[in-house]
C-alpha cells in the first residue's frame, strides 16, 4: 500500500481551495468575510448551517458539528480512504502526489532528486566533520566542547562524523555550490533558508545551522538524511532558533522524523537473543551508550515516539528496553508509548531506579560504565508491572476498589495488543500484580472490550447522520458535552503561549484519555509536545493527529476564534475542574469509609485520615498558572 508523503499532503492542502472542492457537492453562498455557507451534506436541514472557511481550509457544520479539511470532506462525501482521497484531489487539481520510498511508485525524477539529496548530505557531513577536526579556532572550541563539556572521547566523534558549524555556517553553501548540486536539491535539502530568488547564488543560501554541534542523522540503511544541531556558546544571537537546545533538519524528500530512529542502522546489526534494543531519549544518550559498549541503543528524533518507528523496530527484533524519566512527564510519555508498542507486537521492559527522580542514561553510563546496564536490567519492570505501578504505586496498601479501578486503566493498554494470547497473558499478570482474582479480572477485561466496541470510534452511516437525535431540534444529532479537556485544548490551540505552563501544571492522571474521549487524548499529546519544546505550531499539526476523529475535533476548534477576555483565568478554571474531578471522588469515598468504620475491612483509619488530609491539602492549593508572557 503506497504511503503519501506528509510534505505532499501539506502541499496539497495549501494549493487546493476548499471552496472549489465543496462547491461540487454543496451550493455555497457568501456568509460574511471570506466565509461561505450552504446546506450541510452530512445532516438533513432546511436552513444552511454548513460553513466553509477557504482561507483556513476548514469546514464546520454548526448543526451537526461535523468539521474537517479538504481531505476529510472528500473522504466522507465520496466514501474514500485517506490515500484514495488525496489521489482523487490531486488528479482533479493537477497536483502530483509523492509517495514514501519503497511504498509505491515514486517517479524517476523524484528518485534521482532523493539520490542527490542523499549525496548532498554525505558531502555536508564530511565537510562539517572536517570543520570539527580543523586546527583553527572553531575546531578547537568544538573538540573541547565534545571532550570536556560532553565528556565523549574523540574516537566517537570520528565514528559518527560529529561536525561543527561556525557562526557563519562554516562555508557549507559554497562547498555544495562548487560540487554542482542542482538548485532543486539545494532548495529541498533543508540545510538552508533560501530567499525566493530566480537564480540561486551563494548570497541566497542562508545556513540553517550556525554555531552548533552537528550530529548526522542516518536512516536505517545508514545514509545521512538530516542533522540534529546542539546549541553551544557559539550559537549566534540572530539564530532564529537561538533558545532551542536542539534543532533538527526540517522534513525533506528524504527525512520524515516520525519514521526514523537514531542509530538504528548500527543497532539493528547488533541486536539478538539477550541483546534487545535499548530506547533512550536523545541522540547523545544513544552515543553515550555506544561509547561504553552498549551498542543497541536507539533514540527518536526529538519528538515522542511514533507507531511507524515502533513497526520499523519490530522488523529487526521484538524486544525493547526503555529508559523513561521516572518523573510525571516521563511516566506520561511511557504510558503513551506502551499501547503503541504492544500494538506493534514489541515486548517491552522498563528501567527504573529506586529513589532516583531522574534516570539519566547519559550520567549513569558516564559514571559507572556498562556495569550499570546489568544493574538496571536486574531491576527492570515488565510492561504490565510498570502500568500497574503507574496506576497504583503500592497495591498491598490499596483498597480493593482502588485496585479494581487501577486494573481498568491497565485494560486500556492491554486492549491495544493485537494478539489474543498476549492479551490473556497480560490480564493474568495484571491480576497477580494488583492482587485481584484472575477469573474476575478476565471477566472485567471482556466487559471492558464490549464497552469499548460500543463507544469506540465508528464511521457514521448516512442514515445515522440524518436520524433525529434524542435531544436537540429535529435532524440535529447530539454533540458530546464539552469537558474541561475540551476547553483546555481550545486554549492550547488559540493561545499557544499557555501550552507550556499548562503542561507543567496538569498532572497526566488528571486528564481523561479513555478511547472515547478524543479531546483528552489530544490534550495529553499536545501537552507532551509543549513540555518537550517540540510543539510544531497550530498550523502544522498533521503529524500529531492520528485518527479522523482527532482531525475533525481540531478542525472544529480551529475554525472559530474564541472571544475570551482573560485566557489565563479560563485556563485556571479548567485546571481547577480537572483537579477536582481527579481528587474529589476519592475524598468522598474516604469520608464514607470513615463514617462507617466497619463497612470496609480493607481500610485502616489512620492511613485514611492521612490520605484525606493530603487530598484536602491538594484541593486547597490555589490554582495559579505561571506564564512568562
Ligand atoms: Zn451538518
Are 516 and 563 in the same domain? yes
Are 81 and 117 in the same domain? no
- Pick the last residue of a domain from 225, 252, 279: 252
Contact 555, 58 (CB under 8 A): yes
**For residue 628, what pLDDT is reported?**
60
Distance CA 60, CA 556 (A): 6
E-state strands within 241-387:
246-248, 277-279, 297-298, 319-323, 347-351, 381-382
**For residue 602, what pLDDT is reported?**
64
Distance 61 CA to ligand 1 centre (A): 5
Per-residue three-class SS string for 229-273: EEECCCCCCCCCCCCCCEEECCCECCECHHHCCECHHHHHHHCEC
User: What CATH number is given to the structural domain containing 183?
Assistant: 3.90.980.10
Is residue 1 domain-resident?
Answer: no
Judged by average pLDDT, the poorest of 256-260, 337-341, 354-358, 575-579 is: 354-358
pLDDT digits (tens, 9 = 90+) for 375-384: 889 889 999 9
Are 179 and 231 in the same domain? yes
Is residue 101 domain-resident?
Answer: no
Judged by average pLDDT, the poorest of 39-43, 101-105, 128-132 is: 101-105
Are 437 and 492 in the same domain? no
Are 46 and 165 in the same domain? no
Is the pLDDT reported for residue 87 higher than 70?
A: yes
Q: Does residue 126 sit in helix, strand or coil? A: helix
Contact 444, 410 (CB under 8 A): no
Which among 416, 257, 434 is positioned nearest to 337, based on CA atoms? 416
pLDDT digits (tens, 9 = 90+) for 576-591: 999 998 888 888 888 8
Integer Rg of the chain from CA: 27
Which among 477, 447, 458 is positioned nearest to 65, based on CA atoms? 477
Half-sphere exposure of 286 (CA within 13 A, CB side): 25
Distance 49 CA to ligand 1 centre (A): 7
Per-residue three-class SS string for 66-116: CEECHHHHHHHHHCCCHHHHHHHHHHHHCCCCCECCCCCCCCHHHHHHHHH
What is the rounded average pLDDT of the residues 295-315? Answer: 85
Distance 517 CA to ligand 1 centre (A): 21
Distance CA 13, CA 410 (A): 38
What is the rounded average pLDDT of the residues 81-104? Answer: 80
Are 435 and 315 in the same domain? yes
Going by pLDDT thresholds of 50, 70 and 90, the confidence category of residue 109 is very low
Is residue 103 domain-resident?
Answer: no
Distance 255 CA to ligand 1 centre (A): 39
Distance 66 CA to ligand 1 centre (A): 6
Distance CA 302, CA 229 (A): 11
E-state strands within 273-382:
277-279, 297-298, 319-323, 347-351, 381-382
The percent of residues above 90 in pLDDT, for the chain, comes to 37
Distance 50 CA to ligand 1 centre (A): 6
Which among 36, 62, 20, 40 is positioned nearest to 462, based on CA atoms? 40
Instruction: Put the strands of the sheet holding 163-164 in their side by side order.
Output: 163-164, 212-218, 224-231, 246-248
**For residue 627, what pLDDT is reported?**
72
Angle between helices 383-391 and 400-414 in degrees, nearest 10: 130
Q: Grid coordinates 532516583 are at which residue? A: 356
Going by pLDDT thresholds of 50, 70 and 90, the confidence category of residue 502 is very high
What is the rounded average pLDDT of the residues 461-488? Answer: 53
Distance 87 CA to ligand 1 centre (A): 26
Distance CA 222, CA 569 (A): 50
**For residue 105, what pLDDT is reported?**
47
pLDDT digits (tens, 9 = 90+) for 156-215: 999 999 999 999 999 999 999 998 888 889 988 999 988 766 677 878 889 999 999 999
Range of the domain at 278: 261-451
The pTM for the full model equals 0.57
**For residue 18, what pLDDT is reported?**
92
* Cell numbers that stand for 344 in this block: 506493534
Distance 468 CA to ligand 1 centre (A): 12
**For residue 546, what pLDDT is reported?**
76
Contact 156, 290 (CB under 8 A): yes
Distance CA 14, CA 595 (A): 63
Distance 16 CA to ligand 1 centre (A): 23
Distance 75 CA to ligand 1 centre (A): 16
Distance 538 CA to ligand 1 centre (A): 25
Going by pLDDT thresholds of 50, 70 and 90, the confidence category of residue 434 is very high
Distance 43 CA to ligand 1 centre (A): 5
User: What CATH number is given to the structural domain containing 427?
Assistant: 3.40.1360.10
User: What CATH number is given to the structural domain containing 68?
Assistant: 3.90.580.10
51: DSSP letter: E
What is the rounded average pLDDT of the residues 233-261? Answer: 89
Is residue 531 domain-resident?
Answer: yes
- Pick the last residue of a domain from 428, 451, 474: 451
pLDDT digits (tens, 9 = 90+) for 560-616: 777 888 889 889 999 999 999 888 888 888 888 888 776 655 668 888 888 899 888
Contact 228, 215 (CB under 8 A): yes
Distance CA 394, CA 252 (A): 47
Distance 34 CA to ligand 1 centre (A): 20
Are 418 and 433 in the same domain? yes
Distance 99 CA to ligand 1 centre (A): 33
Is residue 52 domain-resident?
Answer: yes
Distance 463 CA to ligand 1 centre (A): 13
* Cell numbers that stand for 585 in this block: 471522588
Pairing label, strands 297-298, 277-279: parallel
Distance 21 CA to ligand 1 centre (A): 17
Is residue 216 domain-resident?
Answer: yes
What is the rounded average pLDDT of the residues 260-278? Answer: 90
Are 308 and 211 in the same domain? no
Mean model confidence pLDDT for the chain: 85
Distance 471 CA to ligand 1 centre (A): 15
- Pick the last residue of a domain from 451, 485, 513: 451
Distance 480 CA to ligand 1 centre (A): 15
Going by pLDDT thresholds of 50, 70 and 90, the confidence category of residue 358 is low
Which among 558, 599, 615 is positioned nearest to 55, based on CA atoms? 558
**For residue 332, what pLDDT is reported?**
81
Distance 491 CA to ligand 1 centre (A): 25
pLDDT digits (tens, 9 = 90+) for 45-65: 778 899 999 888 899 998 888
Q: Which of 291-300, 363-372, 474-483, 544-553 has the highest mean pLDDT?
A: 291-300
pLDDT digits (tens, 9 = 90+) for 507-526: 878 888 887 788 998 998 89
Distance 462 CA to ligand 1 centre (A): 12
What is the rounded average pLDDT of the residues 535-558? Answer: 82
Is residue 135 domain-resident?
Answer: yes
Pairing label, strands 319-323, 277-279: parallel
Distance 389 CA to ligand 1 centre (A): 44
What is the rounded average pLDDT of the residues 312-317? Answer: 80
- The CA-based angle 256-175-173, given to 5 degrees, is 60
| Structural domains of the chain, count | 4
Going by pLDDT thresholds of 50, 70 and 90, the confidence category of residue 471 is very low
Q: Grid coordinates 477469573 are at which residue? A: 439
Distance CA 334, CA 329 (A): 9
Are 297 and 444 in the same domain? yes
**For residue 424, what pLDDT is reported?**
92
Are 490 and 575 in the same domain? yes
Is the pLDDT reported for residue 463 higher than 70?
A: no
Angle between helices 605-620 and 567-595 in degrees, nearest 10: 160
Are 405 and 424 in the same domain? yes
What is the rounded average pLDDT of the residues 248-269? Answer: 87
Distance 263 CA to ligand 1 centre (A): 48
Going by pLDDT thresholds of 50, 70 and 90, the confidence category of residue 108 is very low
Q: Grid coordinates 481551495 are at which residue? A: 17
Is residue 596 domain-resident?
Answer: yes
Are 300 and 429 in the same domain? yes
**For residue 119, what pLDDT is reported?**
87
**For residue 626, what pLDDT is reported?**
78
Distance 64 CA to ligand 1 centre (A): 4
Is the pLDDT reported for residue 355 higher than 70?
A: no
Contact 506, 487 (CB under 8 A): no
Amino acid at each position: 500500500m503506497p504511503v503519501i508523503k506528509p510534505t505532499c499532503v501539506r502541499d496539497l492542502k495549501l494549493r487546493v481551495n476548499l471552496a472549489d472542492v465543496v462547491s461540487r457537492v454543496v451550493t455555497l453562498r457568501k456568509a460574511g468575510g471570506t466565509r461561505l455557507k450552504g446546506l450541510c451534506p452530512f445532516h438533513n436541514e432546511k436552513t444552511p448551517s454548513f460553513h466553509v472557511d477557504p482561507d483556513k481550509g476548514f469546514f464546520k457544520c454548526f448543526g451537526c458539528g461535523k468539521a474537517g479539511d479538504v481531505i476529510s470532506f472528500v473522504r466522507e462525501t465520496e466514501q474514500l480512504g485517506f490515500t484514495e482521497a488525496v489521489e482523487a484531489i490531486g488528479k482533479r487539481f493537477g497536483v502530483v502526489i509523492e509517495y514514501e520510498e519503497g511504498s509505491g511508485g515514486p517517479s524517476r525524477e523524484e528518485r534521482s532528486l532523493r539520490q542527490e539529496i542523499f549525496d548532498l548530505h554525505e558531502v555536508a557531513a564530511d565537510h562539517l566533520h572536517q570543520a570539527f577536526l580543523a586546527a583553527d579556532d572553531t575546531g578547537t572550541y568544538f573538540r573541547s566542547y565534545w571532550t570536556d563539556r560532553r565528556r565523549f572521547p574523540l574516537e566517537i566523534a570520528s565514528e559518527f562524523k560529529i561536525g561543527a558549524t561556525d557562526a557563519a555556517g562554516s562555508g557549507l553553501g559554497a562547498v555544495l555550490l562548487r560540487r554542482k548540486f542542482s538548485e532543486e536539491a539545494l532548495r529541498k535539502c533543508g540545510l538552508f533558508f533560501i530567499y525566493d530568488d530566480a537564480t540561486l547564488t551563494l548570497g541566497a543560501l542562508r545556513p540553517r545551522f550556525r554555531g552548533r554541534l552537528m550530529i548526522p542523522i542516518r536512516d536505517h540503511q545508514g545514509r545521512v538524511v538530516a542533522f540534529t544541531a546542539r546549541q553551544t556558546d557559539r550559537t549566534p544571537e540572530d539564530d532564529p532558533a537561538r533558545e532551542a537546545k536542539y534543532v533538527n533538519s526540517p522534513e525533506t524528500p528524504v527525512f520524515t522524523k516520525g519514521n526514523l530512529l537514531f542509530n538504528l542502522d548500527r543497532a539493528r546489526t547488533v541486536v539478538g537473543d539477550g541483546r534487545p534494543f535499548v530506547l533512550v531519549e536523545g541522540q547523545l544518550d544513544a552515543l553515550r551508550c555506544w561509547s561504553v559498549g552498549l551498542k543497541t541503543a536507539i533514540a527518536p528524533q526529538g519528538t515522542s515516539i511514533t507507531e511507524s518507528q515502533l513497526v520499523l523496530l519490530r522488523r529487526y527484533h521484538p524486544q525493547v528496553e526503555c529508559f523513561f524519566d521516572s518523573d510525571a512527564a516521563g511516566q506520561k510519555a511511557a504510558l503513551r508509548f506502551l499501547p503503541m508498542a504492544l500494538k506493534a507486537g514489541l515486548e517491552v521492559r522498563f528501567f527504573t531506579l529506586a529513589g532516583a527522580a531522574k534516570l539519566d542514561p547519559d550520567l549513569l553510563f558516564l559514571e559507572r560504565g556498562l556495569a550499570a546496564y546489568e544493574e538496571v536490567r536486574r531491576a527492570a519492570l515488565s510492561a504490565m508491572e510498570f502500568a500497574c505501578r503507574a496506576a497504583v504505586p503500592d497495591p498491598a496498601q490499596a483498597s480493593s476498589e482502588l485496585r479494581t479501578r487501577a486494573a481498568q486503566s491497565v485494560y486500556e493498554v492491554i486492549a491495544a495488543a493485537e494478539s489474543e494470547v498476549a492479551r490473556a497473558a497480560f490480564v493474568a499478570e495484571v491480576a497477580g500484580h494488583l492482587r485481584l482474582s484472575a477469573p474476575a479480572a478476565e471477566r472485567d477485561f471482556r466487559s471492558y472490550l464490549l464497552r469499548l466496541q460500543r463507544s469506540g470510534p465508528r464511521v457514521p452511516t448516512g442514515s445515522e447522520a440524518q436520524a433525529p437525535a434524542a435531544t436537540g431540534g429535529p435532524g440535529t444529532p447530539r454533540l458530546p458535552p464539552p469537558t474541561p479537556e475540551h476547553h483546555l485544548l481550545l486554549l492550547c490551540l488559540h493561545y499557544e503561549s499557555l501550552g507550556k505552563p499548562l503542561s507543567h501544571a496538569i498532572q497526566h492522571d488528571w486528564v481523561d484519555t479513555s478511547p472515547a474521549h478524543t479531546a483528552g487524548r489530544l490534550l495529553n499529546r499536545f501537552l507532551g509536545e509543549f513540555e518537550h519544546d517540540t510543539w510544531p505550531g497550530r498550523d502544522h499539526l498533521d503529524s500529531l493527529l492520528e485518527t479522523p476523529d482527532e482531525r475533525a475535533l481540531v478542525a472544529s476548534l480551529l475554525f472559530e476564534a474564541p472571544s475570551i477576555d482573560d485566557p489565563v483565568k479560563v485556563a485556571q478554571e479548567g485546571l481547577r475542574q480537572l483537579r477536582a474531578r481527579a481528587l474529589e471522588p476519592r475524598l468522598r469515598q474516604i469520608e464514607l469509609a470513615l463514617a462507617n468504620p466497619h463497612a470496609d475491612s480493607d481500610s485502616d483509619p489512620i492511613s485514611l485520615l492521612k490520605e484525606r488530609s493530603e487530598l484536602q491539602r491538594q484541593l486547597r492549593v490555589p490554582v495559579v498558572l505561571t506564564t512568562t508572557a
